[in-house]
Structure formats: structure tokens, C-alpha cells
Chains A and B, each alone.
Chain A
Amino acid sequence: MGLFESLHIFIIALYALGTVLFLVGVSTDNDKLKRVAIWLAVAGFTFNTIDLALVLGRDTAALNAGKFYFNILAWCVLAVYFFLWWRLRLEFLAITALPLALLLFVASLALGGIRIVMPPELTVLFFGLHIGSLVLTLGVLMMAFGAGLAFIYYNRKLKTKAGLSSLGKDVPSLDKFDTVNRWAVVIGFPLFTLGLFSTFFWYWIAPGKIFTWDIMKIGSLAVWFLYAFLFHQRVVLGWRGRKPAILAIWVFAGMCVSLIHHTITFRAMP
């Protein structure tokens, strides 16, 4: 087994163990387990960073092909989670971040074969504008998805007077979950817009590419409209709480469908 395979198995083991321990920690209300799970995630994240650096260091052309995208996405989900944990002390969102990071990392090994053709001098620009912003948006939306589900669940508990014990001792307040949604809208929507519309630029610079409307692009635009609606309602009309939480879940679901569609389409390309 080579260095990369061992490293990948090690990262998967760390993410998987972290996920299991965190879920057990939440269900048994065991703070120690949760803390261990977070440290395992930190270790997994560190090795994931090393893995990405090694892949790029060995061959920068790796950006254009292969198993890179889901790997970056897994890394990005955890990066956004750590940021939220640092800013809002939202340890709880590991319940979404850890399983998703695990899933995406495993998917990155399984779903190889995407090939992107572009002039080498434009690689950095392409990644900075298009992939970078979309990956970040997805990372932010994944957290909003988790926070949205948590908000709806605990909001219902509060509304139906289910009692304090059902609200959990260490579960953050509804306001904290709503703040994640606000950040996902305020930061995520401009990033998504940039990522999406840079596609036109991409078609303009990529050799032999002509822009045509197809189901993939129409789907992406539909998600953008949904996101734009959420942005408008939240930022302009001052929506808060349940409604933006539900909308964020729909936007995330749309993004997922779009991502899977993109992956399948690109894999099928010669």
C-alpha cells in the first residue's frame, strides 16, 4: 500500500471515528466523547490538508482531473465548521459537518475521472473564481442545512412546550442556529453568484467551448433563483427563523442535485 492510500485510509478512519463518537456523545450527553470526536476531526482535517498539499505538490495538473473536487469539498465543510465553532461556539454543528466530510471524502475516492480542459496559465484563475467560490458556498450551505434542520426541530419543541430536557443541555439557542443561516445567506449568495456567473467567463476563455443552454445550466440557474429569493427575503424583508431555515434546506438540496448532475455529466464526457 502506497503513502497516499495509507493516508486516505487514515483520514477516513479519523473522520469515521469522529462521526461515530460525536453521535454517541450527543445521544448519551457525554461531553468527553464529543471533545474527543472534535479532536479526531481536527486530526483528520490536518491530514486532509497534508493530502491536498501533497497531491498539488506532486502534480499541479491534478487540479484539472481526478478525485480532487469532493476532497476539497470535504476539507471545506470542516474548514467552515471550525470557523463557525470559533466564532459562535457552535460545537453542535459537528452533527452535520463530520458525517458530510466523511461522505464527501469517501466519495472523492469513489467518484474519480472528472476531466477539465483549460489553458494551464488560467488554472489558478479558474479555481479562484469558479470552483473556489462554489466549494465555499457548498461548505457554508452544508452548515446552514444542519443549522436549519436543528432550528426547525428545536423551534417545534419550544412551540409545543416539550420541556427543557427535550431541548438538550448543551444544544445552542435558536438565535445561534439562525445566525448560521444569516451567514450562509450573506456570505454564500454572493459567492454562489460569483461562482455561477464566472462560468460564462470560463466558456469564453476555454479552448473550443461554446456556451449553450442545457438542462445542467438551467438547473444551476434555478438554484440561483431560489437562493436569490432567500437572500431577498432575509436581507431585504427581514425574514428570520423558520422560513429561511426551510428555504436554506431547499437551496442546499438543489445544490446537491446540481452537483451530482454535474459530476455525472462530466464523468460521461470524453
Chain B
Amino acid sequence: MNRKIILIGLNHRTAGVEVREKFALTDVENFEKGLMAHCPVNECMALSTCNRVEIIAITENVPERDALDSLIQYWAGVCKGSPELLVDNIYQYSDMEAVHQVFTVACSLDSMVMGEPQILGQLKDAYRTAVEKGTARTIINRLLHKSFSVAKRVRTETAIASSAVSISFAAVELAKKIFGDLEGTKAMLVGAGEMAELAATHLLHNGVQDVIIANRTLSRAKELANSMGGEPIQIENLPDRLHEVDIVISSTGSPVAVIKAKDVKNVLKKRKNKPMFFIDIAVPRDIDPDVNSLDNVYLYDIDDLKEVVDENMAQRQEEATKAKAVVELETTVFGNWLNSLELQPTIVDMVDKTEDVALRELNKTLKRIGPVDEKSRKALETLVLSVARKSLHEPICFLKRRTQEEGSAERFIDMARRMFNLDDESIPPEAHLDRKPDACTSEDIEKLIDISKNKEQ
């Protein structure tokens, strides 16, 4: 069987924004259907985000070059672009390299902000679409399921996604280090800049109870208060309300300091020294740097926050090395599974597994009945192995017949491998939300067999 996994794509590293815009897929569902109809592929899936477009296709008995050319032609045609321009800006992988790339993308190792979680969600959405349209079958199904589990493994085994890599997220993390749980805290936005708004939104999502928005133009403050919830005030009223808030985010265009150290000193007295966190993202700065020297007051300006972000980015790079090792390992595991999608290794695995069960059961019985002579032991062993092999005759015969039918070999072999659990997979409890969480221990199955047989009689 001459099966190939092909992956072509472009991303923020290989293509500029104009090219990415040009070749972005706006109607992925129809694109996938079109690929199946016009290109020599058995399965396909497309992922299109603002930073990347990737097409995964499975071909069979077609020269790789032909399959690639037809994919490029079709993609360029759909996007009304030149195939030459597309070729100049894409990367191409096949087989294990393609698998490696899918895992790398799922683990967010290839993202612009390494470790960001959105890509996994986008990949899941793309996969769901392909399943719904029937363009994802045995191999893509398995590849994507595997990529989700690899991504999960990377997230739990490495700290790639644990640190803040955006200014607003860093601000939230720092606030948590001061106040712990942000539940019940109150924040104030001084000035209604976009970045301050983003930081405030992050804070609100993390438990901050209320926001006061102080701005020169009250109408803009009101507008923002309506969109994010909060209380708009005129900036002149700021000193009277400052003692009420725990976190202050400032981003005005004022050329002089809006909040001075001596004002904060008085505010602290009113607050009975309850801690305050000032985030100054304005340039020139809005908050007097001396504020940081007061006890129980913490001031971070834009450069401080950037340093935090840079440090975390460097930390993520270190974690990426560990993550890459996981991806390498899982790619090899997936390669083993791909190789097993032939009839012969599957038969060997089935027989091995059944013989293993037979011998284990024999040993248990021998332990129960006590010592037996070598001759009897050999005879019993031959008996159980023979029963094990004979019980597989019909399933093997069925598989052999099915795999001779055009296009169904992989499906049936994969099904047999799953039925006999030849790859020792464990199914996570949340894998099938619509199914009852039935127990599948040996005892449960024995009980089920007994009940079923009794009912039959």
C-alpha cells in the first residue's frame, strides 16, 4: 500500500501578512469538499487562522509530487492567487515530518507566541469540521486525536504555558502575587486607552469585582463603562475615589504625573495601609516613580511589565526543549501505529495478545490446582494456545476478506486494533461526553457475559 501523509502550509515565519491574507481560507468546509473532489486524496483537513494555513492530506498510490502539485493548484485557484507565489511561501512535509509538524502546531511550539492556548482550540474546530464533512477518516482521525493528547501531555509535563507573555496577563499575575485571590478587589482605570482597557478586562475575568473608569472626557468613560461594566467618573474626582481601589491602571496622555507619591501616602492612611498595585502603561509615565518606595504600594511601569514578559518568554523557550522531546517521542509512537496498519503485523499482534491471555489464565489455574507433571503442563499449554488461535480464525478470515476490498483496509484494521486494544490505549473519561461512563474492568466484563448468557437461556 503506497500511502502518504502530506502537509503543506504557510505561517507567520514563511509568509508576510499580505500573502497570508491572500491565501487564507474563508470557507474551509467547501474547500475540504473541493479537495476531495478535485485532488487525488483519500482524506483531508484544513486549518486556517490569522497566522497560518495548513492542509493535511492522505494520498494512496499517487506519486507525491503529483499530489502536492494538485493541492497547490487547487489552493491557489480557490484563493485566486498565483501558484508560483504560493510555492514560494509555503512549507511542505510528508509522512513522519508531517506528523511531527501537526504535533508541533498542536503543542503551540510553532505559534507566534509560543505556548499560547488558542491554537489547540482552533485545531479542534478544524478537525470537527472535517469530521462533520466526512473528509477526516482513519488516519486523520487518529493523527488529530493523538495531537490533542500530545498537546495535553506537553502542557502537563512542561511549564510552556504557565507564565504570562502579554502585558495585561503579566499585570494580572503580579496582582495575584500581591492580593492572592482577586475576588472582591476593586480596580480603577485612569484614562481610557486600549491597552488599559485590555488589562482591566483581564482583571475582571480574574475576579476583580468592580471598576471605576476615570477619564478627562466623561462620555468616553461612560462608553467604556457600558462595554465592560463599571462606574465612569471625571478624572478631576480621582483623588476622592483613589482610596476605594486596590489596583490602578493608568494610561493617560498627560505630560506630567497624574498620581503623586504624597497623594498616595494620604490615600494609604485612609485605607489603613491596605496594599495597592499601580500599573502605569502610559508614556510619559502617569505615576510618580517614588510611589514604589512607599510600604504596601507596588508600582510597575510599561518597561517593568515588558521585562516580566521577556523573562517569561525566555523561560518558555527553555521549556520548549522539553516539549520538543515529547513531540519527537510521540511522532515515533505514531509512526509505529502507521506501520501496524498492515494486515500481517495486526494478525501477529492479535495472536500474541490472545496467547498471552491464554497463558496467563493457564498459570492462574495451575496455581489453583497445585503441582502437575511437566507432560500434563505441556499438554494443557498446547490446549489453551490452540483454543486461543482457533478463536481468532474467523476474525482473521473476516479481516483478510475486507482488506481485499478497495479503500477499506485501514478502516477495518484500525477497528480490529481498537477492538482488541492492540496498542494499549487508555480512553480518558472525558473522551466521549455523550456516553455513559461504564466500567470496563475484567470483573465487569465477566459479569456482563454472565448476565447476557443467563438472559439468552
Contact = CB atoms under 8 A, between A and B. Distances in A.
B143 to A, nearest CB: 32
B274 interface: yes
Contact of B296 (A154, A169, A172, A241): A241
A238 to B, nearest CB: 3
Contacts of B304: 161
Contact of A164 (B178, B180, B275, B311): B311
A221 interface: no
A165 B162 CA distance: 10
Given A174-B177, A240-B275, A164 B307 contact: no
Interface string A91-104: 00000000000000
A164 B295 CA distance: 20
A238 B164 contact: no
A163 B311 contact: yes
Contacts of A167: 177
Given A159-B298, A238-B273, A241-B296, A173 B307 contact: no
A243 interface: yes
A124 to B, nearest CB: 41
A182 to B, nearest CB: 12
Interface in A228-244: 238-243
B311 A165 contact: yes
Interface string B297-316: 01010001001100110010
Contact of B174 (A164, A165, A176, A241): A164
A24 interface: no
B275 A176 contact: no
Contact of B307 (A163, A175, A176, A238): A163
A161 B272 CA distance: 25
Contacts of A53: none
A26 to B, nearest CB: 16
A241 B163 contact: no
A161 B300 contact: yes
A175 B180 contact: yes
B298 A242 contact: no
A176 B311 contact: no
B178 A165 contact: no
Contacts of A169: 159, 162
B273 A241 contact: yes
Contact of A161 (B180, B275, B296, B307): B307
Given A159-B292, A163-B311, A164-B308, A154 B162 contact: no
B173 A238 contact: no
Interface string B307-344: 11001100100000000000000000000000000000
Given A165-B312, A165-B315, A241-B295, A158 B177 contact: yes
B178 A175 contact: yes
A174 B311 contact: no
Nearest to B269: A238
Contacts of A165: 163, 311-312, 315
Contact of A242 (B163, B164, B296, B315): B296
B31 interface: no
Contacts of A242: 295-296
Contacts of B274: 240
Nearest to B301: A161
Nearest to A157: B177
Interface string A130-165: 000000000000000000000000100011010111
Nearest to B271: A238
B271 to A, nearest CB: 8
Contact of A163 (B275, B296, B308): B308
Contacts of B107: none
A151 to B, nearest CB: 11
Contacts of B262: none
A154 B163 CA distance: 18
Contact of A158 (B170, B174, B273, B295): B174
Nearest to A244: B273
B273 A239 contact: yes
A107 to B, nearest CB: 35
B179 A164 contact: no
Nearest to A243: B295
Nearest to A89: B180
A161 to B, nearest CB: 5
Nearest to A179: B180
A45 to B, nearest CB: 26
A154 B300 CA distance: 15
Given A163-B312, A173-B181, 16 more contacts: A159-B298, A164-B174, A164-B308, A164-B311, A165-B163, A165-B311, A165-B312, A169-B159, A169-B162, A173-B176, A173-B178, A173-B179, A175-B179, A238-B272, A242-B295, A242-B296
The 6 closest A-B pairs by CB, nearest first: A238-B272, A173-B180, A240-B273, A163-B311, A241-B296, A161-B304
